[in-house]
Structure 1
């Protein structure tokens, strides 16, 4: 492993195969397994030197944090204890190794039964790594999936600072100058700024969707989709799949959302006449669009019109954020939509540090349209239209126009949304 990349952070949007990739890495490296049959016939086994050096040669700690959430800190912290406990259970045999430090085995036993105190939970990964290194005589490969989910949920639930303290300690102890670490791969949706959670981490490299290093390894490329459709006999559906699920750009590579493509191919196998569906609708982060539309101090609604009409906007993208300041600026809003896959690069040109952004495809356009339509309906329900009717009756065109376009051109936007939906339905 190149020491320049001791800790790799990879942040493609959700539904682009992060967890699958991490499971594959765990299977490939785990010293407890013989994975030759799993990878038989795949490209990687042709690299005999790499497989001899790495396949099933290292202890692996694979921790997923996607379930660490709760309505309050106590609930979320309990889920973290459960995740650590499940990890310990998979290594229960360490309790029988009398060569390991007695204090470590005692702490391990408490962590396994969710009885560890806060300090022990925060240092749990480090303790496990120390025990595994002693047991196997090899350094540890650490895999942490969806590292930012606990922080995102904590921000929504109002306990961000408490969860940040736990996560900073949990990850910081095992990533900073850790003699037991071979290397670490961490995935998430956003790159949390280094000063917030990765302070002092050595040999740290971040790979966002604007990076080239792993751009073609998350999501499906054009060639992969063509092969998938050819193998399943659905090549005739290529155009509609492209229109609905293509359009993303990771680095300089065009990418399809794999979650959508696979779901639609599965649906086609059941019913060959099925139309493309919206598989993103109930995924995480959809609510962030509405949360920003409700802000009256940000001028995002005119730009929504441009995006919904198929146009582009130019915005400054910040790739390092913290969840507690996501709503602090319009720049953060566009950055979050870009980093979470709701917008994508329209091209590779950048002017004065700004990125050209667009809605990637029909699926995401429908989410934007539906979100704005609901906002419009809710806003009109809350508004008092008597003054508007009076202005129309009295022929006060200027006043009526002002009232119609307040709040912020909603009526025109609603008409455009309804027209867009009608056109899409007619196209089906």
Structure 2
């Protein structure tokens, strides 16, 4: 079978459907949108869940075009939806802007990107506006200022509304406005320190275009988060919000299980379904169960050259993990316990507040969990109401997202170790002070986050991480146990220095720690770990049995 190309990173609808790419048909989203009859429709979904492609599809469907628009949609589901929907095809002037490029280190740069995004639409519609001859001289001058990046601040404050008015006047039809990634500049501004200024800019742009705009037919806005009305949607009573908890349009962002099965069958990967399910499924949008489309497409594409390709965390490279990092860095003891529970596959229950702002992120830990839920790092298991508050039981969606948590925790731990003063630990190891060693390791365990259910591999990684900056010593960590090598070996580069053997055991009880230390010491002797060191020329060899029980450590020599 000839391999049909997959649209990796392509979000132009026409290019996909006319370029013979594999396309999962989401065109009935158009029908549902029209049925809702919302004037301003906000759809919030995690990054890389098909929002931009759907917006591109809406543009091609609704935008007036001298060419026959129906050729693009030939054979797709919307063509069978009925005349009342097809009557809207190619009927309106459409403004489509993405605010994605506004992710910049300063407000000034971000605002320049906004000006360029607006310029693109003023440029795209110039021929139509110019040919109509219906603009006044003053409006035409303002139009050209915005097209040529020469507008004043006041020009840009209501530029979207002005363009919609121009298009309405020149075509005689109201305008459809599509705004993609509306919250990117807000999230970026929050983490970069100019949130208030950016909020004012976005608010003035949106208020003018979306509130009491007589030239507006309807608008669709997409982003990751529903930002509270008070921050940028002030007084927008015509706003319909479809978040990940809403019942409407759940199946149109992301792939349903049936769509994934069809794709895998098409590419001869039917046997990979369970692997794909474990790694990329797990999201619940309304009543719809969905997979991460970005990751599924990338995985299937990786199988083009190698049918035995292994699953990878594609989404972690494509999305900002700032929120997970913030959670881990700010975690107190109880939050660390909750992170451990989640990574182990357990659930947590938290109150859900949809109308939060980025400024609220740090005010309580609960708000941080909210951000994680709405941005795709947690999934809904079930919900219940207590008085006025909705509580959500949540879990990590899949193995891909679990990898993000683990990786974030590891990097945080490495950074923490670098900042710690660990010379007392190093001295205790090289001087044989086992009591001090156990105390310091126990104290550090209390501050860490475990994600291996306290298996030996977790403690091996923990101890190796603590020791990686131990002066001039070479640290050798054995990834596998039981292969004739000690768990951790420290060697001074010169044989005149010391060598240290550390063997690790995990106890099932606190009382069993000492017995496990002795077991580790016996293993060092029985396996003759020191023989190789003596053959190398080392004469000063320290041997430690290190036992762990949850966040307690005991060391014997």
TM-score grouping bracket, smaller chain normalisation: over 0.9
**Pick aligned residue for 1:106 from 132, 141, 146:** 141
Distance in 2 (alpha carbons) for counterparts of 1:58 and 1:215: 26
Q: Tell me what 1:13 maps to.
A: 46
Corresponding residue for 2:402? 365
Quote how far apart the aligned CAs of 1:152 are: 1.2
Contact kept, 8 Å, 1:141 with 1:184, in 2: the verdict is yes
Q: Give the distance between the partners of 2:333 and 2:130, measured in 1 at CA.
A: 57
Could you tell me how far 1:4 is from its partner in structure 2?
A: 5.8
Considering fraction of residues, name the structure with more helix: 1
Separation (CA, whole Å) in 2 of partners of 1:38 and 1:377 = 52
CA–CA distance in structure 2, aligned partners of residues 401 and 69 of structure 1: 41
Alignment of 1:140-159 (within 5 A): 140-159=175-194
Equivalent of 1:188 in 223, 233, 250: 223
CA distance in 2, matches of 1:110, 1:420: 64
The aligned counterpart of 2:540 is none
Taking the aligned partners of 1:316 and 1:200, their CA distance within structure 2 comes to: 26
Q: List aligned pairs for 1:172-251, cutoff 5 A.
A: 172-251=207-286
Question: Contact 2:41 / 2:221 at 8 angstroms: preserved in 1?
Answer: yes
In 1, Cα distance between equivalents of 2:428 and 2:246: 56
Taking the aligned partners of 2:278 and 2:248, their CA distance within structure 1 comes to: 26
TM-superposed CA distance for 1:34, in Å, is: 2.4
- Say whether 1:385 aligns with 2:419: no
TM-score of the superposed pair, with normalisation by structure 1: 0.92
Distance in 2 (CA, whole Å) between partners of 1:420 and 1:205 is 50
- Deviation, 1:71, is 1.2
* Kept after mapping to 2: 8 A contact 1:95/1:109: no
What CA deviation, in whole Å up to 9, does each residue of 1:216-235 have, x standing for no partner? 11100111111111112111
Provide, for residues 243-263 of structure 1, a one-character-per-residue CA deviation record: whole Å limited to 9, x for no partner.
100111111221100111111
Please point out which of 126, 140, 146 is paired with 2:161.
Answer: 126
Q: Which position in structure 2 is the counterpart of 1:375?
A: 412
Q: For 2:428 and 2:437, how far apart are their aligned partners in 1?
A: 11
Question: How has the CA–CA distance of structure 1 residues 124 and 395 changed in structure 2, closer, same or farther, with 3 Å as cutoff?
Answer: same
Q: Is the 8 A contact 1:245 1:256 kept in 2?
A: yes
Partner of 2:97: 63
- Distance in 2, Cα, partners of 1:256 & 1:421: 34
Contact 1:3 1:203 in 2 (8 A): no
Unaligned runs of 5+ in 2: 1-33, 462-478, 481-557
Secondary structure of the residue that 1:86 maps to in structure 2? helix
Residue 81 (1) aligns with residue 121 (2): no
Q: CA deviation at 1:156?
A: 1.8
Q: How far apart, in 1, do the equivalents of 2:62 and 2:280 lie?
A: 33
Q: CA deviation at 1:275?
A: 0.3
CA-to-aligned-CA distance 1:292-337 (integer Å, 9 cap, x gap): 2112557421111101111111111221221223222111111111
Q: Which runs of 5+ in 1 are unaligned?
A: none
Q: Secondary structure at the match of 1:70?
A: coil
Output the CA distance in 1 between the equivalents of 2:197 and 2:176.
28
How high is the TM-score relative to the length of structure 2? 0.71
User: Which residue is 1:336 aligned to?
Assistant: 371
Distance 1:35 1:300 in 2: 53
**1:416 CA displacement:** 5.4
Aligned mates of 1:136, 1:421 — CA distance in 2: 70
Q: When the two structures are aligned, how many residues end up with a matched partner?
A: 422
Q: CA deviation at 1:396?
A: 6.7
Query: In structure 2, what is the Cα distance between the partners aligned to 1:269 and 1:320?
Result: 43
Q: How does 1:163-178 map to 2 (within 5 A)?
A: 163-178=198-213
> In terms of mean alpha carbon deviation, does 320-329 or 356-365 score higher?
320-329
Q: Secondary structure at the match of 1:197?
A: coil
In the superposition, relative to structure 1, how do residues 397 and 272 fare at CA in structure 2: closer, same or farther (>3 Å)? closer
Kindly report the root-mean-square deviation, in angstroms, between the aligned alpha carbons of the 2 structures: 2.6
Say whether the 8 Å CA contact 2:79–2:86 is kept in structure 1: no
Report how far residue 380 of structure 1 moved: 2.1
**Hey, what does 1:25 align to over in structure 2?**
58
Measured against aligned partners, the alpha-carbon deviations of 1:345-365 in whole angstroms (never above 9, x if no partner) come to 12x342532111111111111
Partner of 2:444: 404
Give 3-state SS (helix, strand or coil) of 2:314's partner: coil
1:41 corresponds in structure 2 to 75
Q: Which residue of 1 aligns with 2:303?
A: 268
